[in-house]
Amino acid sequence: MKFETPAGQNPIDQLKVVGRSTDRIDGKYKTTGTAPYAYERHDVVPNQAYGYVLGAGIAKGRLRGMDVAAAWKAPGVLAVLTTLDIPKLGLGKMNTANLFGGAEVQHYHQAIAVVVAETFEQARAASFLIRPDYAPEDGRFDLAAEARSAKPVGADSAEGSGGGPEDRVGDFEGAFAAAAVKLDETYTTPDETHAMLEPHATIAAWQGDRLTLWTSNQMIAWSKGSVAKILGIPPENVRVDSPYIGGGFGAKLFVRADAVIAALAAKAARRPVKLALTRPLIANNTTHRPATIQRIRIGATRDGTITAIAHESTSGNLPEGRPETAVDQTKLLYAGANRLTAMRLARLDLPEGNAMRAPGEAPGLMALEVAMDEMAERLGLDPVAFRVKNDTQVDPGHPERRFSHRDLVGCLRLGAERFGWARRSAKPGQVRDGQWLVGLGVAAGFRNNLLTKSAARVRLDGRGILTVETDMTDIGTGSYTIIAQTVAEMMGVSLDQVVVRLGDSDFPASAGSGGQWGANNATAGVYAACVKLREAVAQRLGVNSADAAFADGEVRAGNRGTPLAQAAAAGELVAEDGIEYGDIAKSHQQSTFAGHFVEVGVDVDTAEVRVRRMLAVCAAGRILNPKSARSQVIGGMTMGVGSALMEELAVDKKRGFFVNHDLATYEVPVHADIPHQEVIFLDEVDPMSSPMKAKGVGELGICGVGAALANAVYNATGVRVRDYPITLDKLL
C-alpha cells in the first residue's frame, strides 16, 4: 500500500482498542522468566555445544601467532577456532571493525578465538589456555588530543538526517559578530555503553548449506543480509530468529561477533553452538556511544531573537567509522536566519563508536539545551519564554518545508504549568530545603520521526483467530501489543483473538526496531495487510468491502451481520502487504517534541545531586498504547539521568580500552535514584506520518533530559558544569 497523505479517516480512528492503555502481551512471559531469550532456547535444536569468545588483550597491532595446543587438549573441548584460521571477513551493515578473521587487531577485546566445548565452564577454562603472540602497535586513544587533527565529515548514519560536513544558512560569522548578546561555550559528553540486560547471544546451527541463527537482534532483515555478506553465503540460506529481546538501545541494530562466530564455530565443531558475549567483553568488543566535544555559539538581539546559531561537534572513531551526529537537531529546533552546523571526526583506535538510543540528539541536546539556558540567563529571559520566542514551524534551512506537525510550544507551556515552573528562582543558588539546595531546570526534547517501509502477513482461521506475522522485533518496547491492537481494531475483534508472531526472517520484512521508527511504521505495515485481509473477507462473504464494517467479531453490511470466522470456514484466509512512503519525508519535516522539566536537590556539604521530580510533556502524534508509551518515556528519562549524572566509560588513554567494562563499575541509575516521574502526552494526531497517524516516542524520552537536569543543578547551585557526567567533584 502506497501511503497517500494526508491520511483520511480510517478504521484505526475508531480507537476502540488502539490508543487505550493495554498491558504488554509479552509482559507475563518476561516477568515470569518464561520468555525464551536467545541463550535460553534449549529446545530449538538438539545437541547444543557451548562457545566461549576470547578478546584481544591489546588495542592495536597484529597477531603473530596463537598457541592453541593446550586448549585443544582441555577437557570437553570440541573445537578451537582462531582468527588466524580464516581470512579477514567482510563487514555487515553498519559494522566498522572486523568481527572475526585475519591477523589485524583493530581494537581492544576484538574477538581473536573461540573455544567450543560440551559445557560453558569447559569452553571458558580452555580459552584461558590459549597463548596469543601479539605484535602491538601504538594507537590513538585520547579524543581531546586527536581533536586537533580531526577532519570535516558528513553524516551517513542510518538514523541521522544526513547533510554535509558543514551546513550553512546566511552569514553566521557576520551575524554572530554583530549580535548584541552572545554565547560561545564548549561542552563535552563521554563515551557511554548501552548496558542492556540481555547480552549479545546466538545459537547457530547448520543444515547442509543452510544456517539458522537464534539470536537477539533489533533489525532482522538487515542482519540476515549482513550475515550472508560476512560469511559469503546466499541470503536465502540464512534464517535469523529473534522473538524476545532483553533490551537493545542500538547495540543490536546490526550483526555482532556472537552471531558470526557462533556460525563459524558451529561449522568447525559440526554441532549447533550456543554463545554469548560475556558482560566484561561487551563494552570493548561491541559498540558504544562515542564521546563528543561540542562548541556552540548563539547570537541574539537584546529582546531575545536568535540571529546566529552555530553548533560544531567533534567525535572520534576507528578508520571508516562514522561521526556522532550531535548537530542534527540544531538545524531544526530553533529559528534564526544565520546558521552553521559542522562535524569533525578524529581517528581513534578505541572500540567502535556507533548508535546508542537517540544517537545524535541525545548528546547533542545535552549541549544545545544547556547553551540555551545560559543564553536565556544572559538575556534576562525566562528559559521557557526564550525557547517559545524562537520557535519555528518551518525547517529554518529550507523554509518551504514545514513540519508535518509541531507543538514544542504546547509541550513547554503545559509542562511549565504542571511543574510549577513559576516557583523557580531566576537567580541560582537561592532555594534551600534543609540540607539541600533546590533547583529547577527545563530543556526542549527533539527527535526525528523516520518513515520506512514495513510489511506483514495476517491470517484468519476458521475459529476466528487472527495471526499476524512480521519480522518486526520487540526490544522491550511493546511491539507485540501495539501490533495486536492494530489487528484487533482493523478486524473488529478483541485482543485475545489475535496472535502476534515476530522476529523471524521467514516473515515479511518490517521496519525493525531502531531510531524510534518501529511503532509507527510496523503498525502501518500491519494496517496495510489488514486492509487487504478485509477485502478478502468481504469477497468471501459476498459483500462490498467499502460497505463492510468490522466490529464485535462480525462483518456487517447493510442490516446483515456475519461472524468473521465464517469467512474462513472454507479455509484459512491470508493477506500480505506493506506500507510504502512516497516523498512525504522530503516535502515535510517529521519530528517529535518534548518539554523536559527536572527538580534536583544538591547537598550543600557534599554536592551530591539527587533528582526530586521529573516531568516530560511529549508531542509525538497519536499514542498507540499510552501505558507502554509512558514506559518508554520514563525509561528514556531514567537513561537521561544516567547520562547527566553518572554514565561514563573511563578510557585508559595509554593502553586504549574502556576500563569500567561491567555493570559493577559502569554506573547507571537505580530505582532509588528516580523518586518521581510524570509523563503527559499532548492529544494529537499527525495525518502526515502514516495511516496510524502516530510517531515514534521511544527515543524522544531521552532527548533533552540530561540538559534539563544540568540546568536544574545550575539553578540550585550557580555552578555551571559543561563536562558530563556532572559528578559531585565538579560542583565543589
**Which residues are catalytic, by number?**
699
CB of 358 to ligand MOS, least distance (A): 7
Q: What's the rounded Cα separation, in Å, for the pair 469 and 619?
A: 30
CB of 702 to ligand MOS, least distance (A): 10
CB of 248 to ligand MOS, least distance (A): 5
Which residue pairs, CB below 8 angstroms and at least 24 apart, start in 717-721? 717/428, 717/429, 717/437, 717/439, 717/602, 717/607, 718/428, 718/429, 720/370, 720/374
Contact yes or no for 408/391 (Cβ under 8 A): yes
Q: What's the rounded Cα separation, in Å, for the pair 244 and 279?
A: 19
Nearer residue to ligand MOS within complex by CB, 215 or 715: 215
Nearer residue to ligand MOS within complex by CB, 310 or 702: 702
Residue from 120, 172, 176, 249 touching ligand MOS (CB under 6 A): that is 249
The answer to whether 222 contacts ligand MOS (rule: CB under 6 A) is no
Strand arrangement, sheet containing 436-448: 432-433, 436-448, 591-603, 609-619, 677-681
Which part of the chain contacts ligand MOS (CB under 6 A), choosing from 33-41, 326-334, 356-364, 677-685? 356-364
Which part of the chain contacts ligand MOS (CB under 6 A), choosing from 11-19, 57-65, 352-360, 398-406? 352-360
CB of 228 to ligand MOS, least distance (A): 22
Nearer residue to ligand MOS within complex by CB, 383 or 642: 642
Q: Kindly state the number of chain residues that form the binding site for ligand MOS, as judged by CB under 6 A.
A: 12
The answer to whether 218 contacts ligand MOS (rule: CB under 6 A) is yes
Report phi then psi at 166, rounded to 5. Answer: -145, 125
Cell numbers given for 718: 550557580
Q: What's the rounded Cα separation, in Å, for the pair 223 and 240?
A: 8
Q: What's the rounded Cα separation, in Å, for the pair 298 and 180?
A: 11
The answer to whether 514 contacts ligand MOS (rule: CB under 6 A) is yes
Contact yes or no for 657/723 (Cβ under 8 A): no
Nearer residue to ligand MOS within complex by CB, 159 or 241: 159
The answer to whether 640 contacts ligand MOS (rule: CB under 6 A) is no
Which part of the chain contacts ligand MOS (CB under 6 A), choosing from 108-116, 162-170, 224-232, 244-252? 244-252
Contact yes or no for 355/157 (Cβ under 8 A): yes
- Determine the Cα angle at 503 with ends 39 and 451, to 5°: 135
DSSP string, 707-729: HHHHHHHHHHHS----BSS--GG
Q: What's the rounded Cα separation, in Å, for the pair 568 and 495?
A: 19
Specify the DSSP element, H or E, that contains 403. strand 398-403
Report phi then psi at 588, rounded to 5. Answer: -130, 135
CB of 411 to ligand MOS, least distance (A): 22
Which part of the chain contacts ligand MOS (CB under 6 A), choosing from 49-57, 102-110, 355-363, 502-510? 355-363
The answer to whether 330 contacts ligand MOS (rule: CB under 6 A) is no
Cβ atoms within 10 Å of 656's Cβ, excluding its own: 23
The answer to whether 555 contacts ligand MOS (rule: CB under 6 A) is no
Which part of the chain contacts ligand MOS (CB under 6 A), choosing from 201-209, 223-231, 350-358, 380-388? 350-358
Core vs surface per residue 26-60: b (16+ CB within 10 A) or e? beeeeeeeebebbbbbeeebeebbbbbbbbbebbb
The answer to whether 359 contacts ligand MOS (rule: CB under 6 A) is yes
Residue from 113, 126, 139, 159 touching ligand MOS (CB under 6 A): that is 159
Q: At what angle do helices 361-379 and 705-717 cross, to 10 degrees?
A: 40
Length of the chain: 732
Residue from 19, 225, 250, 725 touching ligand MOS (CB under 6 A): that is 250
The answer to whether 356 contacts ligand MOS (rule: CB under 6 A) is yes
Q: Is 185 helix (H, G, I), strand (E, B) or coil?
A: strand
Nearer residue to ligand MOS within complex by CB, 196 or 263: 196
Which part of the chain contacts ligand MOS (CB under 6 A), choosing from 349-357, 364-372, 492-500, 660-668? 349-357
CB of 522 to ligand MOS, least distance (A): 14
Q: At what angle do helices 361-379 and 626-645 cross, to 10 degrees?
A: 70
DSSP string, 433-496: ETTEEEEEEEEEEEEE-----EEEEEEE-TTS-EEEEES---SSS-HHHHHHHHHHHHHT--GG
CB of 256 to ligand MOS, least distance (A): 13
Nearer residue to ligand MOS within complex by CB, 157 or 404: 157
Cα–Cα distances (Å) from 205 to 72, 218, 262, 273, 501, in that order, read 22, 20, 8, 7, 22
Nearer residue to ligand MOS within complex by CB, 120 or 254: 254
Q: What's the rounded Cα separation, in Å, for the pair 375 and 180?
A: 12
- Up-side HSE of residue 730: CA atoms within 13 Å toward CB? 16
CB of 149 to ligand MOS, least distance (A): 28
CB of 359 to ligand MOS, least distance (A): 5
The answer to whether 384 contacts ligand MOS (rule: CB under 6 A) is no
The answer to whether 355 contacts ligand MOS (rule: CB under 6 A) is yes
Residue from 7, 78, 221, 253 touching ligand MOS (CB under 6 A): that is 253
Sign of the Cα pseudo-torsion (477, 479, 480, 482, in order): positive
Nearer residue to ligand MOS within complex by CB, 225 or 441: 225
Residue from 515, 525, 696, 725 touching ligand MOS (CB under 6 A): that is 515
CB of 333 to ligand MOS, least distance (A): 20
The answer to whether 357 contacts ligand MOS (rule: CB under 6 A) is yes
Nearer residue to ligand MOS within complex by CB, 222 or 666: 222
CB of 701 to ligand MOS, least distance (A): 12
Per-residue contact flags (x/-) with ligand MOS for residues 255 to 294, judged by CB under 6 A: ----------------------------------------
Contact yes or no for 238/211 (Cβ under 8 A): yes
Nearer residue to ligand MOS within complex by CB, 256 or 457: 256
The answer to whether 248 contacts ligand MOS (rule: CB under 6 A) is yes
The contact set with ligand MOS (CB under 6 A) reads: 159, 218, 248-250, 253, 355-357, 359, 514-515
